[in-house]
Amino acid sequence: MDISIVVPVYNEQDNVDAVYSALKVALQAMGCSYEIVMVDDGSTDESYKKLTLLASADAALKVIRFRRNFGQTAAMSAGFDYAKGDIIIPLDGDLQNDPADIPRLVAKIHEGYDVVSGWRRSRKDTFITRKIPSLLANALISRLTGVHLHDYGCTLKAYRSEVLDGINLYGEMHRFVPALACQFGAKVAELPVNHFPRLHGVSKYGISRTFRVILDLITVKFLMAYSTKPIQLFGKWGIYTILAGFGTGAMTLYMKIFEHLSMNRNPLLILTAFLLFMGAQFIVLGLLGELNVRTYFESQRKPIYAVKDGINLD
């Protein structure tokens, strides 16, 4: 299988037929083997009924139905798990992404890239609630991950299938796949793509999603920088905190000896005890993290590296 298209669908009964038709036109023109994996994320409208009718007439259309609504990330993760193509391309089920961009993404992959991320340069969304939060989030994500993309939120991306093998998605982490893949040495590119206004239905995501993305960004930053060495993060802050405790302790003694101030009424004494205690807690937390890391990798015999290819290996 050359290409797998993954489409999360949630209450998109008015868009399902049009998305399917546009995908068929784009994929058939490419002259390659393909499949379309549509994931019904617990829709409560007629989306699944329409998908069933389409799949009954086309074996290239695979349909997965969730028992309830698990969210876009879960839907994409299921699509990735069932996809069999060498190149996997997710896109939204609301017709705002353009299936005509798929050949360009695939051509960019064939230039030697592992991930090609779409960039909605002329995004057709509301300015206050969608564009501004997106601009701020993209700048923050690029800064913290070191993978500079204009549009992390664009669903339309292309991945080599092997890039997704070692990546598990939780929360809202589907948007961070390029950064997570880059951690394992993937070559990432960005390509401007078309973006259309929504014609049918309503968006399922609002500005409240921004806060969930920020929390997931903290997780991604930790996974990228310290997932195999948590003691270096928590131990460092533990040492800083203990040194600060020694500093406030020394000031407390100085005030007692030279300024004849009572230690019992000196708030620095309480601060000293607090800082020393917190420093010890940070170091213990780092040690517990090290134990968890070793349990995770060693119990699964999971390496802490990723091999791209090899020669004459058994």
User: Quick one: DSSP state of residue 311?
Assistant: S
89: tokens are 């391309």
Least confident window among 125-129, 204-208, 210-214: 204-208
Please give the backbone phi and psi of residue 158, each rounded to the nearest 5 degrees, phi first: -125, 135
pLDDT at 203 over 80: no
Please list the residues that pair with 88 across neighbouring strands: 4, 159
pLDDT at 37 over 60: yes
**What is the residue whose two structure tokens read 């134990």?**
291
- 102 pLDDT band, cuts 50/70/90, is very high
User: Quick one: DSSP state of residue 95?
Assistant: S
- 258 pLDDT band, cuts 50/70/90, is confident
Least confident window among 21-25, 31-35, 149-153, 262-266: 262-266
Could you give the CA distance from residue 137 to residue 153 in angstroms, rounded to a whole number? Answer: 9
Query: Domains of the chain: which residue ranges?
Result: 3-225, 230-299
- Which CATH number applies to 3-225? 3.90.550.10
| Strands in 187-311 per DSSP E | 188-192
* Average pLDDT over every residue of 220-247: 90
Which of 126, 107, 210, 116 is CA-nearest to residue 154? Answer: 116
pLDDT at 311 over 90: no
